[in-house]
Amino acid sequence: MNHAPLPEASTHFHLPTFRRWAGYVALCIGMFMAILDIQVVVTSLHVIEEDLGIGPERMSWVQTSYLIAEVVAIPIIGLLMRVFAKRRLFAIAIVLFTIASAGCAASFGFWDLMFWRVLQGFAGGVLIPLVFSAVFLMFPKGIEQTLATTVGGFLAILGPTLGPLIGGWITENTSWHWVFLINIAPGILALVVGVLALPKESPNWRVLKELDWLTLIAFGLSLALLIVGLKEAPKHGWLSTTVLGYFVVSAICLVLSLRRASSAIHFYLLRDRALAFGCAISFLFGFVLFATVYILPVFLAFVRGHGPLAIGLITVVMGVTQIFVAPFIVQIDRYFDARLLTALGFAVFGVGLGLNAFLTVNSDYNEVFWPQVIRGATVMFCVLPSIRIALALQPLSQVNDASGLFNVVRNIGGAIGIAVMDTIMFTRGPEYGDWLLELLKTDPAAAASYLGLTPEDVPAPDDAMGLLGIMDSIEPAALTLAINECWWLLAAASLATLPILWWMGPVESSKPVRTMKKEA
């Protein structure tokens, strides 16, 4: 497979410090909005469904369409950067995202809302990897680059954490339109600052003439069909004809895009050991983080009966903890090997996940507080060093393409994680319900503990009317047991990074930042 050499990327270390950071902050605002928008909208889906008369069977596509467009956009960031250059590409993406947000708020039905969500998702998919490539193209190695990486990684995680809180407050205190309209002012601010601060570079339209469009279309279809298949798998079954059809066609499209002689997506970059293993870690992190952010609100909503705002106030603990520990992690990352820090982060994060696997129907804020603190205190160890492993020593001409691959596998991991969680809850929940019904007959006292009742509240096995009276307690108890299985699986997935890090072995990019700087 032959690949033309990439043009050398231009760095902007020479920019005045204030201008460099102002441009980076503008990029971070765009990324934060794109990530936040996923979780914020989730809290208002039911309200939007009722107001627009969409119907519950189609409402989930409001989210899925955004995710598909975002995932398709992320891996082509390198290509788009070569065509438009950073400032022009950022301006186009932030304008499209802001206009699409206004379009979503002005929608009157399903299809116009879908159109704007697809446009919004694609623009968001461009905004996300721009930040991670800018870290290495705009900042010299050392404390500035470490701080920039921390800020970008911190915001990437804070978005999903704050989403339920912001979305919950908006849903309960204003109209659903503001879920989208909150993007307008930050979008305009980011546009103005970005255009003024980011360096001006000339576009390269020749790239479009030489582009292998078949590869681009095949890879986009592959990602889109994968996401659709993952969405349908929990409902129809992973081995159903429909779901397998999505996966098979997705795989065929992927193979086609891989085997093209001049692929528009630079898959050959994965020959680099550090990037390949960094992407594997990013995939597992996406699997664990997206699923974690998903199943805790499910428990609080369907078992505890909390509303969107209350859920946000409970789940914000992890984000608040991140804010407090971030300054310390910036310094720690400079002095220690990235493999060691990543292993520490995922190991302790896994402990925080495992501690949530003992939930009962009566568990609430106090029971989920400390596990969230543990995860919040260590999540940056999962993010910051892995970014350094994957991208720190990539040639500057390849940073944009490498960043796209690194980010897209995280989102794919997240989509798979959520699908797996749904599958466990769909399948194991009813099984646990049947088990609890049987337990009521054989061991009423044990059943009472699972149902959150006292033994005196459990009727005799032959009391049909009494058993009917506690049926409402079985479903949340069964769901709780299924969710506990989810927590155990996520803890195991987090710990699975340890053998991957061992298999990777020492790589140059994992060396402490201070050591790398001296050698450079």
Tens of pLDDT, residues 347-368: 999 999 999 999 999 999 999 9
Give whichever of 328-337, 398-407, 489-498 has the largest mean pLDDT: 489-498
Q: What is the DSSP letter of 107?
A: -
> Which of 71, 95, 69, 117 has the alpha carbon at shortest distance from 186?
95
Q: Record the pTM.
A: 0.87
Q: Is the dihedral of CA 268, 273, 275, 280 positive or negative?
A: positive
Average pLDDT, the chain: 88
- Domain 273-423+489-520 belongs in CATH node 1.20.1250.20: yes
Between the CA of residue 458 and those of 89, 432, 436, 461, 465, what are the distances in Å? Answer: 64, 18, 12, 9, 12
Beta carbons of 458 and 444 less than 8 angstroms apart: yes
pLDDT at 374 > cutoff 90: yes
Residues 6+ apart with CB under 8 A from 78: 266, 398, 400, 401, 402, 403, 404
Give percent of the chain with pLDDT exceeding 70.
94
pLDDT at 490 > cutoff 90: yes
pLDDT at 467 > cutoff 80: no
pLDDT at 201 > cutoff 60: yes
Residue 257 is predicted with a pLDDT of: 85
Q: How confident is the model at residue 7 (pLDDT cuts 50, 70, 90)?
A: low
Helical axes 338-355 vs 273-302, angle rounded to 10°: 20
Q: Is the dihedral of CA 245, 248, 254, 257 positive or negative?
A: negative
pLDDT at 234 > cutoff 80: yes
Q: Lowest mean pLDDT of 339-343, 382-386, 496-500, 515-519, name the range.
A: 515-519
Beta carbons of 359 and 483 less than 8 angstroms apart: yes
Give whichever of 3-12, 363-372, 398-407 has the largest mean pLDDT: 363-372
What's the token pair of residue 504? Answer: 């990777």
Q: How confident is the model at residue 205 (pLDDT cuts 50, 70, 90)?
A: confident
Q: Mean pLDDT across the stretch 430-447?
A: 89
Q: Mean pLDDT across the stretch 290-305?
A: 90
> Which of 156, 163, 144 has the alpha carbon at shortest distance from 296?
163
Q: How confident is the model at residue 24 (pLDDT cuts 50, 70, 90)?
A: very high
Residue 2 is predicted with a pLDDT of: 46
Residues 6+ apart with CB under 8 A from 90: 26, 27, 30, 127, 130, 194, 198
> 25 or 144: whose pLDDT is higher?
25
Q: How confident is the model at residue 77 (pLDDT cuts 50, 70, 90)?
A: confident
Q: How confident is the model at residue 392 (pLDDT cuts 50, 70, 90)?
A: confident
CATH code for the structural domain at 16-211:
1.20.1250.20
> 42 or 405: whose pLDDT is higher?
405
Beta carbons of 152 and 99 less than 8 angstroms apart: no
Q: Helices marked H in 110-142 — which ranges?
A: 110-138
Residue 364 is predicted with a pLDDT of: 95
312-346 per-position pLDDT tens digit: 889 889 988 988 898 888 889 888 999 999 999 99
Between the CA of residue 32 and those of 37, 97, 131, 309, what are the distances in Å? Answer: 8, 12, 10, 20
170-187 per-position pLDDT tens digit: 888 888 899 999 999 999
Q: Lowest mean pLDDT of 90-99, 156-165, 185-194, 507-516, name the range.
A: 507-516
Q: How confident is the model at residue 265 (pLDDT cuts 50, 70, 90)?
A: confident
